[in-house]
Structure 1
Amino acid sequence: MKHLPKHLRPRWRYLAVGIESWPDTAVGRSEFQRHLWYAAQNLFGDAASADLDLTVIGFELDDGCGYAIVRTRRDEVDRARAAVACLDGIDGQELGLRVRGVSGTVRACEEKYLGADPEAPDQRTVTFEGGERTAVVRDGRYDVTVDSAFAGATELDFE
């Protein structure tokens, strides 16, 4: 079977999506893909979400920081961004998503928007609510362990 001529092939755009969550969040690529499809389907309906053709090309989430590369059709970038914005959690685990940028190739997407690795999280012991607690520190933000959950804090909360 012959390949389609270049002018008949589908044109793609790649969204670089930054992901933030609590340090103990465990989400995989397939779960992210499934919930992204559901978000698009709930927002636009079956036919329009099929037009988006959202596919997660790359995914990584470690210690609450990560990224995803999402492929969509060239003419559907705005709707794809809206579908990503509708995704706020997976299986009860909260996620913060931000589209860092859009590119025409996977390589350019990785180099331009995902090239600089975020600062590695640091673990410290802090005094919070009158007691010593462990905290994961990222960019001046503290995720303090309180009972079996986390509480978000900044350096100003400890002075």
Structure 2
Amino acid sequence: MKHLPKHLRPKWRYVAVALETDPDESFSRGAFQRELWYATQNLLGDAGSADADGTVVRFQFRNGDGSAVVRARRGEVEAIRAALACVESVDDATVAVGIEGVSGTIRACEEKFIPAATERPDRREVAFAGERRSGIARGDRVAVDVDGDRTYATSEDVE
């Protein structure tokens, strides 16, 4: 089968996505892809989700921190951004999704917007709300165990 001429091929944009969840949680590329497709279909409908595409072409996730590159058809980037905003959990793990930027190639997207390595979490005792508690620090973010629940703070909130 012959390739389509360049002017007839679909034109793509690539969206860099930052993912963050509890340091103890983990999920796969397939699970994130499934949640993104569900969100896209629920938001845009069948025809709209097919037009937007939303395929995860690159994915890395470790220690509750990661990134992805999501493919969008040119002209449908805003629809994919809206669908990404609708993703709130993956495999029962609450996840924060942030858009880092948009690029015309995968390589440029990775070079501009995706960090080389994720920060390694450090479990330690922290002073929070006047008491010593167990916490997991990742950069300037700290997840503190408070009465069986997890509370999130910055390094300025804890000692």
TM-score, normalised on structure 2?
0.89
What per-residue deviation string (whole Å, max 9, x for no partner) do you get for residues 85-105 of structure 1? 111112331111111000111
| Corresponding residue number in structure 2 for 1:124 | 124
The 3-state SS of whatever aligns with 2:95 is: strand
Q: Distance in 2 between matches of 1:155 and 1:10?
A: 46
Farther off after superposition, 100-109 or 87-96: 87-96
The 3-state SS of whatever aligns with 1:14 is: strand
| Corresponding residue number in structure 2 for 1:72 | 72
Superposed displacement of residue 27, structure 1 = 1.1
Q: Distance in 1 between matches of 2:149 and 2:59?
A: 25
| Structure 2 CA distance for partners of 1:61 and 1:14, relative to 1, 3 Å | same
Superposed displacement of residue 144, structure 1 = 1.6
Q: Distance in 1 between matches of 2:109 and 2:50?
A: 23
| Corresponding residue number in structure 2 for 1:58 | 58
Superposed displacement of residue 131, structure 1 = 5.2
Moved over 6 A (4+): none
Which structure 2 residues correspond to residues 5-154 of structure 1 after superposition, within 5 A?
A: 5-128=5-128, 132-146=132-146, 149-154=149-154
The 3-state SS of whatever aligns with 1:45 is: helix
The 3-state SS of whatever aligns with 2:2 is: coil
TM-score, normalised on structure 1?
0.89
The 3-state SS of whatever aligns with 2:75 is: helix
Amino acid at match of 2:107: R
Backbone CA RMSD of aligned residues: 1.9
The 3-state SS of whatever aligns with 2:57 is: strand
Q: Percent identity?
A: 52
Q: Distance in 2 between matches of 1:84 and 1:114?
A: 17
Q: Distance in 1 between matches of 2:156 and 2:104?
A: 42
Superposed displacement of residue 155, structure 1 = 3.5
The 3-state SS of whatever aligns with 1:51 is: helix
Farther off after superposition, 145-154 or 90-99: 145-154
Is the 2:140–2:155 contact (alpha carbons within 8 Å) kept by the matching residues of 1? yes
The 3-state SS of whatever aligns with 1:25 is: coil
Q: Distance in 2 between matches of 1:90 and 1:82?
A: 17
The aligned length equals 159
